[in-house]
Amino acid sequence: MKKRFLIITALIFILSVSILARNEFAFIRVQDAVLRTDPLGGEIIGRLNRGIPVNILEAGERWTKVNIEGWVLTDSLSMENPEGSATLMNTSRQQPAELGDVVTFTRTDFIDGRVELEMELREVISGEEAWQIIKHANIFNEEPGRDEEYILARFHIRVNRAEGDAAFSLTHVMFEAVSDTGVVYKDFITVSGLLPSLRADLYEGAEHSGWTYFLVKKDDNPVVAFDRRMDSEQWFRLRY
């Protein structure tokens, strides 16, 4: 029986192409980085853990070729091993958490009670790639305007401790995009069919990863706020 070997090279979108071009390897900087057979909507064939080294074959502007099977976003890479990096406890609009940072905080409201949470932004997709994913999820999703684009953000949330036996309800409305000039995007938008969805009810010890979405100006450099104007407010950078 003839054996056939499928060699799939991964192309990874890199934060700094010039830095990568001078190096022969990088590290996966986020936990659970998605590995695909193709960069644009390819089949998910695995996930890579934070700290895994990958060899760089060719650095590109949008994607970088590495000798690992599948495709991952460049955002998932770091030139330094991220293992052992400090967990963040305080973020702000001026100093938002970066991709792969784990933010820990306490949230209290009259519905969910007091919960201790971990939150991490693991993947960001924008522009035409984001629109193609959204259109494929549901053909009735609204196309962005000429000067607008969608940003998709995949967050990972863990409930470390909850008050009583109450479930923490995670929803899209807890997240808001804010422009680089400090203006909150107020237009209400709905995107259907994205999987896995961010929406979840989580009991103590449970964790969940899912996509949320934002419609922003193409020339903007927005950040995203979780629980804006609450004591549990946290901020994350959206452009990479």
Tens digit of each residue's pLDDT (9 = 90 or more) over 12-27:
333 344 444 455 677 7
Fold of 10-78: SH3 type barrels. (2.30.30)
Determine contact, residues 132/126, Cβ cutoff 8 Å. Answer: no
HSE, side-chain direction, 13 A CA sphere, residue 215: 16
Residue 65 has what pLDDT?
Answer: 67
Task: Tell me the percentage of the chain whose pLDDT exceeds 90.
Answer: 55
Phi, psi at 79, each rounded to 5°: -80, -10
- State the span(s) of the chain assigned CATH 2.60.40.1240: 102-237
Which residue type occupies 212? T
User: Could you report how far apart the first and last alpha carbons of the chain are, in Å?
Assistant: 46
Read off the pLDDT of each residue in 189-213 and give the average, rounded to a whole number: 96
Read off the pLDDT of each residue in 50-75 and give the average, rounded to a whole number: 67
Residue 60 has what pLDDT?
Answer: 65
pLDDT band, very low/low/confident/very high, at 54 (cuts 50, 70, 90): confident
Residue 5 has pLDDT above 70, yes or no: no
- Please tell me the total number of residues recorded for the chain in this structure: 240
Residue 124 has pLDDT above 60, yes or no: yes
Q: What is the DSSP string of 183-204?
A: -B----------SSBS-EEE-T
Residue 134 has pLDDT above 80, yes or no: yes
- State the span(s) of the chain assigned CATH 2.30.30.40: 10-78
Residue 30 has pLDDT above 80, yes or no: no
Fold of 102-237: Immunoglobulin-like (2.60.40)
Task: Tell me the percentage of the chain whose pLDDT exceeds 70.
Answer: 72
170: closest CA among 137, 211, 216? 211
* pLDDT mean across residues, the chain: 82
Q: Point out which residues pair with 151 in neighbouring strands.
A: 126, 214
